[in-house]
Amino acid sequence: MTEELQKNLNLVNATLSEAELYEHACHVLNFDQETICPVKAMEEQGEVNAFLSNKAFRLKKAPAFIAGAEYLYAHREEFGEFDRVLAESLHREYQKTKNITPEMDHEFSRIFNRAFVNWLDAKKSADFAKFATSLAEVRNVNFKQIALREDSRPVPYDNLLDVYERGITTGDLDKCFDECKERLIPLLKKISASKKTIRTDFLSRTVTDESQRKMAEYLLQTIGFDFTRGAFTTTEHPFTDGLAKNDVRVTTHYYPDMFYSSMFSIIHEGGHALFEQNQPAENYVHHINGLKTLGEHESVSRFYENRIGRSRGFIHLIYKKTGELFPNVMQGVSEDEFYEAMNLVRPSLIRTEADEFTYTFHIIIRYELEKQIINKNVNINDLPRMWDDKYEEYLGIRPQNAREGILQDVHWASGFGYFPTYALGNMYNAMYYNCMSQDIDVENTISDGRFDVINDWMREHVWKRADRLDSKAWIREITGREFTPDDFLDYIEKKYSAIYGV
């Protein structure tokens, strides 16, 4: 490495290290805001968060940093893999933010924070009008961000997909979701007409928050969550935040009459946490740990939640403990009844509570609305009706209020383009599950509680290089195949045809 190249690399690394301190503080504030922050303090705390975030942004807008980062990009082939990936990622980010001033960035952050506070208020009162103005402001921010990009894509929504899932386009998703509808809608009709009866009476039996906390702790321990480098608590909308190399926090939500909600929520968020806790140390040294796509991340969370959490092996593993912690719920419930109930197919309104089968429709609905919001600039006030219409079209049910409809998710308070990654995650993990099953007897390994074996395979094949590859290249490297939804659809058809005898 030449002296000039080393000089520029040192400058870039030093700047990124300083910016990460502000970003770390922002993560702490955000975690506090979404967990224990008093309601009346939220907007003020959002202002502090926006201020600190802007400090990090300004460091990366300094002419010396930009010049140094672009120099690295021009000489990227002279680096090893980690620094080359850093140089390429900084260049991509520069193309997105080159024309965004620090003043703009600060105002964008304030709008997103205000939108979050207004969303919370609107959801509690089931009043979309309280969120509509903020949602319009968020969309306008996305429009401005798209217009200011140096590498803007012709299809507006593709620019937002690129933020979360680089390499994936609306063309990819249209083809993928059309195939999902073609194969899943007829099967859903068969399941709905099936004479199979799945026992559900015990699902609404009441449990205490404390028993749910103990269950969450047990489930995290079971899948291999490291409590010396992580923690969990409760929130309105469960999430995971990787604050730092040794600080990954997960959240869940307790419902007294829906014990299984927190169970699968914590397994899902625990999957996200395992991804973060098992990153190569070099990712932090070279400032690339944040480069995983959301689809890659969601593939892991939904792998643990569904492919593991709803499997016969896992139900066998946790059946006895579930009875110990929820004796009122599990009294007289057999292991087979527990398994079938955890795999019940029932069209429902709330995405986070949706069964594994119908979940894909929740994502398709959001994706189709987001495309219209961004590509067609629909009237914001028409969205609740459009949302309700799509639920009736795809799932045959209609929300009775905005809380169980358009206000249920927090994501739109910070922009558009995230939702498709959930469905993509299911499809990625179906592909690598099939690869894993060639190396491991997955079902028996789960049943025996050998998560060291599962996690070792994930660490080597799934987690190790995720920060260094876009999702298409990543899944190709893991499986040797191009991305396809077929593995997921084959799995869904086989599993649920067997459960319902159709």
Q: Is the pLDDT of residue 236 over 90?
A: no
Kindly report the number of other CB atoms within 10 A of residue 223's CB atom.
Answer: 21
Query: By the 8 A CB rule, do 287 and 86 touch?
Result: yes
The mean pLDDT of 384-399, rounded to a whole number, is: 97
Q: How confident is the model over 9-59, as pLDDT tens digits?
A: 999 999 999 999 999 999 999 999 999 999 999 999 999 999 999 999 999
Which band of pLDDT confidence, cut at 50, 70 and 90, is reported for residue 296? very high
Query: By the 8 A CB rule, do 299 and 249 touch?
Result: no
Task: Give the residue extent of every domain in the chain.
Answer: 3-152, 170-500
Q: How confident is the model over 151-201, as pLDDT tens digits?
A: 999 999 999 999 999 989 999 999 999 999 999 999 999 999 999 999 999
Structure tokens at 72: 């690295």
Which residues are the active-site residues? 269
Q: Kindly give, in sequence order, each residue whose CB lies less than 8 Å from that of residue 210, ignoring residues fewer than 6 positions away.
A: none
The mean pLDDT of 230-243, rounded to a whole number, is: 94
- The span from the CA of 138 to the CA of 131, in Å, is 10
pTM (2 d.p.) = 0.94
pLDDT number for residue 353: 87
The mean pLDDT of 284-289, rounded to a whole number, is: 96
What secondary structure does DSSP assign to 73-98, as a single string? HHTGGGS-HHHHHHHHHHHHHHHHHT
Query: By the 8 A CB rule, do 108 and 130 touch?
Result: no
Mean per-residue pLDDT of the chain: 96
Measured between alpha carbons, how far apart are the two ends of the chain, in Å? 64
| Residue for token pair 């967990």 | 35
pLDDT number for residue 202: 97
Q: How confident is the model over 315-329, as pLDDT tens digits?
A: 999 999 999 999 999
Q: Is the pLDDT of residue 411 over 90?
A: yes
Give the residue from 135, 116, 134, 104 showing the smallest Cα distance to 46.
116
Q: Is the pLDDT of residue 70 over 90?
A: yes
Give CATH for domain 170-500: 1.10.1370.30
- The span from the CA of 105 to the CA of 319, in Å, is 50
Structure tokens at 197: 């009866």
Q: Is the pLDDT of residue 237 over 90?
A: no
Q: Is the pLDDT of residue 352 over 90?
A: no
Query: By the 8 A CB rule, do 156 and 346 touch?
Result: no
